Every structure is written in C-alpha cells, then in structure tokens.
Amino acid sequence: MRISNVSFYHKHLPMLCSSFTCSLEPGVSSADVVIVKVETDEGLVGYGEVGAVGGYPNYAPGLVASSAELVRRHLLHKDPCDLNDIQHTMSLIDGHGSIKAAFDIACWDIFGKSIGKSVSALMGGRLREEVPIYRGLPLKKPADMAKEADAWRSDGYQYLLMKVGSGNLAEDVECIEAVLENRQPGEHITVDASGRWRVDEALYVLKAVEHLDFVLEQPCWQYEECASVRARTNRAMKLDNSITDVGKVLRAQADKACELMTLKIDKLGGLSQGRIARDITSAAGIAVTMEAQWATEITTAAVVHLALSTAPNRLLASTDLHTYSSLSTSKGEAIRVENGMMSMVDNNLPGLGVEVDEDALGEASVVIQA
C-alpha cells in the first residue's frame, strides 16, 4: 500500500468560549486548523489535523505551504502503515512539529483501518473506557471567573484551568482567590499564566496565595525561568508551552523542573511522538494533561485514544477540543461528552473512529498527487 494523494484543508474555527489568548495574540475569538486527508492506492483514507494559532509556520497559510512541500518531497509514495519509516524521515527534517503531526495522525488512522483496530488498541489497548476532562476559564474579572467556575462545577466538572496574566498582579491574585473560594472536595484547579509573568512576578503572586491549593502552570515563557520559579517554591508546577518535543520532556524530567506536564500532540509531532512523551512521563511518575491546540473531532479523537491507553494514575485530564467551536467535521456523534467525562461513542471502530464529513471540509487548499 502506498500514499497516492494528499489534500490539505484550511478551516476557520469560530470559538464559543468568548476569547482566547495565545502568545502574542491576546483576546482572539477564532482559530484555524489545517486538516490533512491521506489517500492510498488501495482505497483507504486517513485524516489528521493540526491547530494553527500563532507563530509561523503555525499560521495556517504558512502551515499549508510548508506541509505541502514536506509531503511532496519526502512522504508521497510511502507506505502509511510503515510508521517507523515515516517517523525516521520526518526526524531528519528539523522542527515543523505541527506540520508532521497532522500527517502522522492520518497515518495512524489508515493503519487502524487497514487491520480493523482502533488507535487505542494500536497503542497497546485501553486502560479505561472514558477520560476526565477539564474546562478552561478565560481571563475575566474575578467575580465573573468565579461565577463561570461555579457553573462548570454544577455540570459535574472537577478539573478547572483558569487563565491569569492580566497585566495586573493584584487582579491576578483576586481571580485566584475568587475561583478557589468555592473549591469543592476532590476538585483539581490549575492556574495557568501562559508564560506572561516574569520570575519576580510569579514569586509575588505565589507568596500572596500560598494558603490556597492549586497547581501552577507555565508561569514564565522560557523553560529556564519556569525552572527557577519551581526551585524557589513548594508549589507543584505543570509545564505546557515549554514542552515542544520529546527532548524537552527528557530535560524537564532530568531537571525535576515539574511534577505535571501538558502534552499537546500537535506541538510534539503527532501520535507517534506523543506516545513516546507519554511513556517517558509515565515511567517518571509525571502526571499529564493530554490535549492539542484547537481542533475539530479529528484531533480530539486522536487525543482520546492516546488518553484511553494511558495509565489512569498518570493521566490528570484531557479536553474536549471539538466543543469549543461550532465547526464539526464528523458525520454524527463520534465523541461523547457527559458529566465532565469524555469517550468515543464506539471505542472499537477502526482508526480514529470518526467518519469525516467531506461536505464540511469543502474544497481543498492544496492537493498533491502521485
């Protein structure tokens, strides 16, 4: 079996969660994804997807152009089920994790379909039937954030991730206090600064709220700055933006720079690298949040399968990415979200278990043919 055609679709995602701040792009109300359709000479088709939010080549037009060039020159005609060969080829191309991720996910989709197995089965088998999910609280005034947190609590969510880094440290402290005021037994709260604090600012906030129970996520932008904060506090820390490849996972583990990590499979380079990162963190006793950077059902399904095959005592939570936007790429319901938990509607469907709606994809931006 050989890859015969690869199509790239640039899709716009209107966000349903008011606004989102990503790196240099504060308060955006929409995001983009690039969806990859890989076709084979035996008629099997696989789909992958990557979020495109901020920073070339993660801007969608740059992502499409770079992806097309990479596929045309190095991946066309390969066997999509020979994942080791594909990973080896992509490893010789520096960077471009997002570009590689969608293609890798599509190959796993084809591999599963070719042998009638789900991606979670290919990952070694499910260790649970559903995974807990968290809800993100975007930056708002303290009272508004507290109100939104209470609303999600009433819907059964025990994992909340609140954004801080408003530019006003006193208000950041107020937001943390407001959300944690009604903290429930068994609830896990993460305070995510998304790298917006300096080291001194992070230490200032931590001192002000040292009596409260939460995990601190990515206080500063640079890895070394986050490690400096972690070394000066007893607060458990989660790294997110700093974890961009397996090498960063190994470094953070060796440095004891964090107790938790966010593994974004699109930033890491897909399911293949995501599984390696997951196995390293599992062996090191580091709990993970499994997710990606904006997506439809395609990437969410990939995240679910990897999460289902992760040891329950190593998985903190995942996220229902597809529910953050009104755009759907699935025919019917492929993923169930209920009472703060997420699962595939049918865990035994081959590949990703998503029947992609070609009408929703529309016309391809780029098509590469053998």
C-alpha–C-alpha distance, residues 267 and 245, integer Å: 7
Q: Is the CB of residue 258 less than 8 Å from the CB of residue 276?
A: no
For β-strands 315-318 and 287-291, DSSP reports them as parallel
Shortest CA distance to 156 belongs to which of 3, 339, 368?
339
Where does 24-82 have alpha helices with state H? 60-70
248 assigned to active site = no
Which residue spans within the chain are E strands per DSSP? Answer: 3-14, 20-22, 25-28, 30-40, 45-52, 131-132, 134-137, 159-163, 188-192, 215-217, 237-239, 260-264, 287-291, 315-318, 335-338, 341-344, 366-369
Residue 181, both tokens:
């005021």
Residue 85, number of CB atoms within 10 A of its CB? 13
117 assigned to active site = no
Region of 294 on the Ramachandran plot (φ > 0 left; ψ -120 to 50 alpha; else beta): left
Residue 154, both tokens:
């009433």
Which of 11, 100, 264, 267 is an active site residue? 264
Which of 113, 163, 238, 267 is an active site residue? 163
> What is the amino acid identity at position 192?
D
Strand order in the sheet with 45-52: 45-52, 30-40, 3-14, 366-369
Q: Is the CB of residue 299 less than 8 Å from the CB of residue 272?
A: no
C-alpha–C-alpha distance, residues 107 and 357, integer Å: 18
Q: Is the CB of residue 37 less than 8 Å from the CB of residue 47?
A: yes
Side-chain-facing half-sphere of 249: CA atoms under 13 Å? 27
Peptide bond just before 57 cis, omega within 30 deg: yes
| Active-site residue list | 163, 264
